[in-house]
Amino acid sequence: MEKIIVDKISHSFDGTTMIFSNVSFTFHKGSIVSILGASGSGKTTILQICAEILKQTEGKVQNSFKKSSFVFQESRLLPWQNVIENISLVLKDTLLSKKEIIKKSQEIALLFGLNEEDFKKYPKDLSGGMKQRVSFARALVVEPTLLFLDEPFSGLDIKLKEELYTILLKKVNKGDLGIIFITHDIMESVILSDEVLIIKIGSQGSTITDRHRFNLKYEQRDNEFVYQNMLMLADRFKR
């Protein structure tokens, strides 16, 4: 089973002030964990360390996932490349032929609700929601088994959010994908996670102060469930 074990990691950018310390969690493929915390609590840094973009100051991260990818809060598309070029960028280092790369990119673009007439558009001609669709398509075209999400849903309308949730949950339910995502939106964590880690800012930097596991399947989570658990989490978040 592909998994990631985060063992007591701490990080400091300047060597004196800790951004966070003593953060530990374990995470398996086929599940979703959300890290819930206020802005400035070092969530993004934790995620970037898990994704090996940054190196932690202390602690260990064991990652046995074969392929991971990242979706950011902003779409981070290359302004000089069109939709398909932006998606296919991340396949350039693979052994696939040019034709296969284009074909895969087009298929995934369609899956994420982009139309064929959008394929040749440059990012500046796309709306915020469309850009984020492209960003998701780019992350999933590499067929990751682990997906890092850095608040990619903030600023999107509810309809698009739900559309994206559905696509992601389908992959997770099939057991093909695990997701670690960070958010400050409590509702998002209730809808979209097996386990919520609550991170709070303390004197030694931030750390995980509380965690909660939801046992109900995603498709069984109705409004009532979401509402109840939001209240519960909000209460624990304030404590």
CA separation for the pair 230, 186 (Å, rounded): 6
C-alpha to C-alpha distance for 104 and 111, rounded to whole angstroms: 11
| Best CA proximity match to 196, nearest among 173, 176, 212, 180 | 212
CA 20, 22, 27 angle in degrees (round to 5)?
Answer: 100
Q: Which is nearer to other proteins, 33 or 77 (CB)?
A: 77
Give 53 or 231: the residue with its C-beta nearer to other proteins: 53
Among residues 10, 8, 2, 5, which one has the least CA distance to residue 54? 10
Neighbouring CB atoms inside 10 A of 151's CB total: 20
Counting contacts by CB under 8 A, is residue 100 touching other proteins?
no
The set of residues, in sequence order, having a beta carbon less than 8 Å from that of 170 and lying 6+ positions away, is none
**Site stretch for other proteins (CB under 8 A), options 48-56, 173-181, 182-190, 209-217:** 48-56
Decide if residue 89 touches other proteins (CB under 8 A). Answer: yes
Residue among 9, 35, 36, 51 that touches other proteins (CB under 8 A): 51
DSSP single-letter state for residue 225: H
* Of 8, 66, 76, 103, the one binding other proteins by CB under 8 A: 76
Would you say 22 or 73 has its CB closer to other proteins? 73
Q: Which of 60, 66, 92, 213 binds other proteins (CB under 8 A)?
A: 92
Region 113-152 residues binding other proteins, contact defined as CB under 8 A = 122, 124, 142, 148
Rule CB under 8 A: say whether 95 interacts with other proteins. Answer: no
Footprint on this chain of other proteins (rule: CB under 8 A): 48, 51, 53, 69-70, 72, 74, 76, 78-82, 89-90, 92-93, 122, 124, 142, 148
